[in-house]
Structure 1
Amino acid sequence: MDYRKFLGNYEGKTFKAKKQFFQGTKRDQLQKYIVKTLGGESLRAAVELPPDTTREEWLAVNTVDFYNQINLLYGCISEYCTHQNCPTMTAGPRYEYLWADGKSVPKPIKCSAPEYIEYLLSWVDCQLDDESIFPPSDVFPPQFLITVRQIFKRLFRFYAHVYHNHLKQQLEDVGEDRHLNTCFKHFIMFVTEFDLVDSRELQPLASIVAQILEQNPKTSSDHVPM
């Protein structure tokens, strides 16, 4: 299923502008490679490190790509995910997420789900624009992986909230659950491929994650030519 065509229908509803790389650069080529592999039959091939690419480059490009995906997915649920419907950022009855970024919000605060998601997207946007973390060159700083893991941990919380609060209530009714499932499967296969999110953080969706990984085991496969 080409979920990118579906996501394109929500371009006008994004909270932040879609991020792209300068045409002709290595990261632009990698972004096109992602699109090419996602159009194939195997999502596993889409997450594996391509030949002649450093781990840092691949993580940087995919961090942008997953940010864009979630930015667009937010357009699907924004009319349902309101302060009234979602007064707290929860993922079922056992998990509630507080927001803090250490700077503008130094201490964890309770907030509604739309507030949390808007904080999240704004924060990720700032990280991606910070060249001291995501440099235009291929020389990455020591804190790069720490920041990337923090980004993916928080992006997972978006999915956890949507699955627990908006899947059956809204998305299944209009047939959009398939697109959400495809995006989440891609996300989980990537974060587990590169160990970006601790297993305890995945607990709110543990059964779904286990099913995805069982159905998509790691195998040796040929890479799609770039």
Structure 2
Amino acid sequence: MLLQTFRPKKKFEPGTMRYSLHKHAQASLNSGINLREVVKLPPGEDLTDWIAVHVVDFFNRINLIYGTITEYCTEETCPRMSGGPKFEYLWADGSKYKKPTPLPAPRYITLLMEWIEAQINNEDIFPAKTGKAPFLLSFALLWLFLHGLRISAVRVLLSGREKSVNFVPVCKKILTRLFRVFVHVYIHHFDRLVAIGAEAHVNTCYKHFYFFVNEFELVSRKEFEPLTELTRKLCDIDKMVRYR
């Protein structure tokens, strides 16, 4: 199976420390890790850092997922960014698109990924200053190397970051919009995922995403309506305490 990334990702040269960390983290994830437990904030660590780590991780991983179906997601096949006949997502960014605007799915997702990268690189939202990395960020970098951390995002994870009042609201919006990519891919391109053998990988990524945003109440429950049955089956949510 050939996986391609929708946007460039950092690669690691064999024999380097980062390549070793990448392989070690991959082995850890493949060892049957409990995703419900791994998303929980480690004792004594900072929630802001923990959220930042996962925002960057999911940004990279969902890029990878979308990259597997880009040639099948065109303006002709997907003239609207939708999740079935009942759900359509409009694009607005406060600058070029000041009002919610219907767009073809590939255009919506391209603008989304560009917007997310801009938020991550905006020091007013994700401020960073030089400092010694704490345990949490060291662990986070190890985790993120599994899927190839973008160079531009490394700065986000430097320790000693000052808190931004906009940080959590922006992260909620990022994660909500990333979820919509899951919706579109599952509903409109699931056959492609099955054909290339990517179904299990995408399901695992989705479960990780769901458990994380559920744990910290980062995505409104109503957003999950298009994938209600899928989520119920994959995540066994009947056995979970749902957030408000």
| Offset of residue 216 of structure 1 | 9.1
| Offset of residue 215 of structure 1 | 6.1
| 1:53 to 2:76 alignment | no
| 1:190 to 2:212 alignment | yes
Picking from 173, 193, 200, the partner of 1:178 is: 200
| Offset of residue 139 of structure 1 | 2.0
CA shift in 2, pair 1:133/1:76, >3 Å: same
CA shift in 2, pair 1:53/1:113, >3 Å: same
Identity of aligned residues (%): 40
Is the Cα contact below 8 Å between 1:18 and 1:68 reproduced in 2? Answer: no
Q: Which amino acid aligns with 2:126?
A: F
Picking from 151, 166, 175, the partner of 1:152 is: 175
Is the Cα contact below 8 Å between 1:38 and 1:46 reproduced in 2? Answer: no
| Offset of residue 180 of structure 1 | 1.2
Query: Which residue in the other structure is 1:93 paired with?
Result: 85
Query: Which residue in the other structure is 1:204 paired with?
Result: 226
Gap regions ≥5 residues in structure 1: 1-5, 20-28, 220-226
Q: Distance in 2 between matches of 1:191 and 1:33?
A: 25
Query: Which residue in the other structure is 2:236 paired with?
Result: 214
Count of matched residue pairs:
202
Picking from 153, 166, 169, the partner of 1:143 is: 166
Gap regions ≥5 residues in structure 2: 12-20, 129-159
CA deviation map 1:119-173 (0-9, x unaligned) = 11000000000111111233211111100000010000000001110003x2212
Q: Distance in 1 between matches of 2:217 and 2:24?
A: 22
Higher mean alpha-carbon deviation, 60-69 vs 202-211, is at: 202-211
Question: Structure 1 segments of 4 or more deviating over 4 A?
Answer: 31-37, 215-219
Q: Distance in 2 between matches of 1:198 and 1:36?
A: 33
| Offset of residue 211 of structure 1 | 2.5
